[in-house]
């Protein structure tokens, strides 16, 4: 077997790689180049998505999906974790209960597969409480294929047909070896054993059939298209499948009778990166083969019954695809990896009522999650510079394997699965808190692109189809909004007209009411005046009755009858009061008369004084006029003197001038 170290595929090796939009900027080797062709944005961040399981009950009671990114929790009164409850959680995107498998694939994984073909190493994790839908999301069912079968289908339909027998094999260290004929036969046999000879064989037909059903479902999905000539490139897809159970790593693709004890695999380190030693890698030439291998591994996966889910997986599974590009002519190669991790259920001991082995399993599972959470939290706290602090990756197998991805050298996305069931609320809170930590983790590190095959699939019809779809969606949204705006403007106009009419109506009604009120009060006043007049008249009559003692009792009765008729509301008893009041009024009247008499005397005195004053004033005026006249005469006399003097002075001046001229002459 020929080991081909230090011969990574790069620009000069493959002419077809150099003519695309990325030019010759192809990284050489695994060392951390900043050139990445990954299509995703915010590469240096863990993308955390949320998928809410579809259940019979309505989710609104406990959760509110406000928008594509925001989830609000509404804790029930009996929630245990009330105290440290964070209510709002943000995600890269939320998929509600109605989202289907295809939505998740198209939004999250499709572009990752393209990145993978273009040279990125990608990681996708599912995390959540048992029975929240992790395995459903990542593997799916025959009717509802999950992310791995869809990714396989998309990958193999994008790549050109692969050779029956591989030429090159990837090593665990990220390099490749050229296979001799006998080695090619070994690899072919390994594939054959798993697919046809193993005990799994009895399920094979079923899985092939299942995959056919899936393929039919996925056959309409668009895929990327390769335009460039790839004839001098050899391609190969290899799969491996490992399980971390109770902090031990097992190979799920090793063919061994079930009775035999499983061999634990160790972790090795190469250039600081962890890898699983001796992990089987199987060459697959089609998506169907890859799917059958996946099923083989799943079959071997350790399932254990817990009180939450009969098929609850008690281990983390790590399914890895390796895409090998090699150029035989120039001895160059490239290996890209795509790792799918289905993490074990994150439930607590109390909830599952686990005992014995189950308790130990739960402890190990929770330890690895605790370490994962701590690592992510420390990465987050390192503010993009994780090399400045010690991060405890080595405290669990999972974090060792994911170290490179967590440090940002590979792209990493996490799908958080939650079940909106009421009895899962407390457990789900732990998961959401974990997701919040992961979501905020940012690493100042660009993912490494092992090679650039972007040119190779530069004309990605499917991707442009997605873009077009998105653009069409956005356009229709814009149209919708414009229609809505037009509707609103029309509404406002109508409202304005309506408001004007309303205002006018209110004003008219107001005026009408005002006029009516005015009229009413005027009538009222008129009536009151009449009553007052009537009362005056009646009082006069009573006074007359009282004062005229010569009136006969008949007359008196007549007057009383007249008064009663006119004043039905005034009783006889109150008549006495009125008479008393009248006597008092008369007394007051007499006093007023005396006052008036006094005022009249004062007035005549005043008038006399005014008359005297006026006469004195007239005398004074006459005297003044005489004085003024005298003064005026005096003024006139003086003016005459002034005029005479002026005249004399002028004549004198003329004379002087003449005299002066005479003298001068």
Ligand X SMILES: Nc1ncnc2c1ncn2[C@@H]1O[C@H](COP(=O)(O)OP(=O)(O)OP(=O)(O)O)[C@@H](O)[C@H]1O
Binding-site positions? 128-135
| Nearest residue (CB) to ligand X, 431 versus 438 | 431
The tokens describing 351, both together, are 């909830």
- Whose tokens are 């001799």? That residue is 180
| Nearest residue (CB) to ligand X, 313 versus 428 | 313
The tokens describing 366, both together, are 């929770």
CB of 246 to ligand X, least distance (A): 15
The tokens describing 372, both together, are 């994962």
How many angstroms separate the CA atoms of 241 and 322, rounded? 11
CB of 53 to ligand X, least distance (A): 4
* Interface residue list for ligand X (CB under 6 A): 53-54, 128, 130-136, 309, 312-313, 344-345, 417
How many angstroms separate the CA atoms of 250 and 382, rounded? 33
Residue ranges for the binding site for ATP? 128-135
CB of 47 to ligand X, least distance (A): 20
How many angstroms separate the CA atoms of 157 and 364, rounded? 39
CB of 423 to ligand X, least distance (A): 14
H or E stretch at 330:
none
| Nearest residue (CB) to ligand X, 136 versus 434 | 136
CB of 116 to ligand X, least distance (A): 24
| Nearest residue (CB) to ligand X, 130 versus 295 | 130
| Nearest residue (CB) to ligand X, 235 versus 301 | 301
| Nearest residue (CB) to ligand X, 30 versus 129 | 129
HEC states along 561-605?
HHHHHHCCCCCHHHHHHHHHHHHHHHHHHHHHHHHHHHHHHHHHH
CB of 121 to ligand X, least distance (A): 25
HEC states along 121-185?
CEEEEEEECCCCCHHHHHCECCCCECHHHHHHHHHHHHCCCCCCCCCEEECCCCCEEECCHHHHH
CB of 417 to ligand X, least distance (A): 6
| Nearest residue (CB) to ligand X, 92 versus 135 | 135
Residues 6+ apart with CB under 8 A from 392: 371, 374, 375, 378, 399
| Nearest residue (CB) to ligand X, 287 versus 417 | 417
CB of 300 to ligand X, least distance (A): 15
φ, ψ at 552 (rounded to 5°)? -75, 160
Q: Is the dihedral of CA 126, 132, 136, 137 positive or negative?
A: negative
H or E stretch at 240:
strand 234-245
Cα-Cα end-to-end distance for the chain: 155
DSSP 271: T
CB of 139 to ligand X, least distance (A): 8
Provide the CA 258 distance to its chain's centre, in angstroms. 52
The answer to whether the beta carbons of residues 277 and 265 sit under 8 Å apart is yes
Q: Is the dihedral of CA 592, 598, 599, 601 positive or negative?
A: positive
| Nearest residue (CB) to ligand X, 101 versus 454 | 101
How many angstroms separate the CA atoms of 313 and 317, rounded? 9
DSSP 224: -
């Amino acid at each position: 077997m020929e080991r081909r170290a230090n011969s990574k595929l790069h620009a000069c090796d493959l002419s077809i790689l150099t003519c695309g939009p990325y030019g010759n900027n192809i990284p050489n080797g695994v060392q951390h180049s900043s050139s990445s062709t990954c299509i995703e944005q915010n590469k240096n961040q863990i993308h955390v998505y949320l998928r809410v399981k579809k259940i019979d009950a309505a989710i609104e009671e406990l959760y509110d999906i406000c928008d594509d990114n925001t989830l609000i929790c509404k804790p029930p009164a009996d929630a245990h974790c009330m105290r440290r409850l964070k209510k709002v959680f943000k995600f890269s995107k939320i998929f509600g209960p109605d989202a289907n498998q295809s939505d998740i694939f198209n939004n999250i994984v499709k572009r990752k597969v393209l990145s993978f073909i273009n040279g990125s190493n990608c990681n996708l994790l599912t995390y959540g409480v048992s029975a929240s839908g992790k395995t459903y999301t990542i593997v799916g069912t025959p009717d509802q294929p999950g992310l791995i079968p869809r990714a396989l289908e998309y990958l193999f339909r994008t790549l050109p047909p692969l050779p029956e027998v591989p030429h090159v094999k990837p090593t665990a260290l990220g390099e490749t070896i050229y296979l001799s004929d006998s080695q090619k036969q070994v690899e072919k046999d390994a594939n054959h054993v798993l697919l046809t000879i193993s005990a799994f064989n009895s399920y094979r037909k079923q899985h092939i059939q299942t995959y056919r059903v899936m393929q039919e479902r996925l056959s309409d999905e668009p895929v990327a298209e390769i335009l460039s000539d790839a004839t001098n490139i050899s391609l190969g897809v290899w799969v491996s499948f490992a399980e971390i159970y109770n902090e031990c790593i097992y190979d799920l693709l090793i063919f061994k009778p079930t009775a035999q004890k499983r061999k634990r695999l160790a972790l090795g380190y190469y250039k600081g990166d962890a890898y699983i030693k001796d992990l089987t890698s199987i060459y697959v030439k089609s998506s169907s083969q890859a799917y059958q291998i996946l099923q083989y591994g799943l079959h071997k996966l350790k399932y254990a019954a817990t009180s939450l889910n009969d098929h609850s997986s008690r281990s983390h599974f790590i399914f890895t695809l390796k895409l090998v590009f090699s150029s035989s002519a120039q001895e160059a190669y490239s290996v890209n990896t795509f790792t799918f991790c289905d993490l074990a259920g994150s439930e607590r001991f109390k909830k599952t009522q686990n005992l014995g082995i189950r308790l130990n399993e739960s402890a190990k599972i929770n330890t690895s999650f605790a370490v994962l959470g701590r690592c992510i939290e420390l990465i987050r706290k390192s503010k993009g510079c994780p090399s400045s602090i010690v991060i405890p990756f080595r405290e669990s197998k999972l974090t060792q394997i994911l170290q490179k991805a967590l440090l940002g050298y590979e792209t990493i996305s996490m799908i958080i699965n939650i079940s909106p069931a009421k009895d899962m609320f407390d457990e789900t809170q732990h998961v959401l808190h974990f997701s919040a930590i992961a979501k905020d983790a940012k690493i100042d590190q660009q993912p490494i692109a092992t090679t650039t095959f972007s040119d190779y699939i530069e004309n990605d019809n499917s991707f442009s189809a997605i873009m077009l779809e998105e653009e069409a969606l956005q356009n229709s949204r814009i149209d919708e909004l414009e229609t809505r705006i037009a509707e609103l403007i029309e509404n406002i106009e109508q409202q304005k007209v309506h408001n004007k009419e309303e205002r006018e109506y209110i004003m008219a009604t107001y005026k009408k009411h005002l006029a009516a009120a005015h009229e009413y009060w005027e009538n009222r006043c008129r009536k009151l005046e009449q009553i007052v007049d009537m009362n005056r008249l009646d009082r006069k009559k009573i006074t007359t009755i009282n004062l005229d003692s010569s009136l006969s009792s008949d007359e008196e009765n007549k007057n009383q009858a007249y008064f009663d008729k006119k004043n039905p509301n005034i009783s006889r008893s109150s008549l006495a009061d009125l008479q008393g009041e009248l006597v008092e009024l008369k007394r007051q009247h007499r006093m007023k008369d005396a006052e008036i008499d006094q005022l009249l005397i004062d007035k005549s005195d005043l008038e006399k004084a005014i008359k005297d004053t006026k006469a004195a004033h007239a005398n004074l005026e006459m005297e003044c006029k005489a004085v003024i006249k005298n003064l005026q005469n005096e003024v006139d006399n003086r003016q005459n003197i002034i005029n005479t003097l002026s005249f004399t002075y002028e004549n004198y001046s003329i004379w002087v001038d003449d005299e002066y001229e005479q003298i001068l002459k």
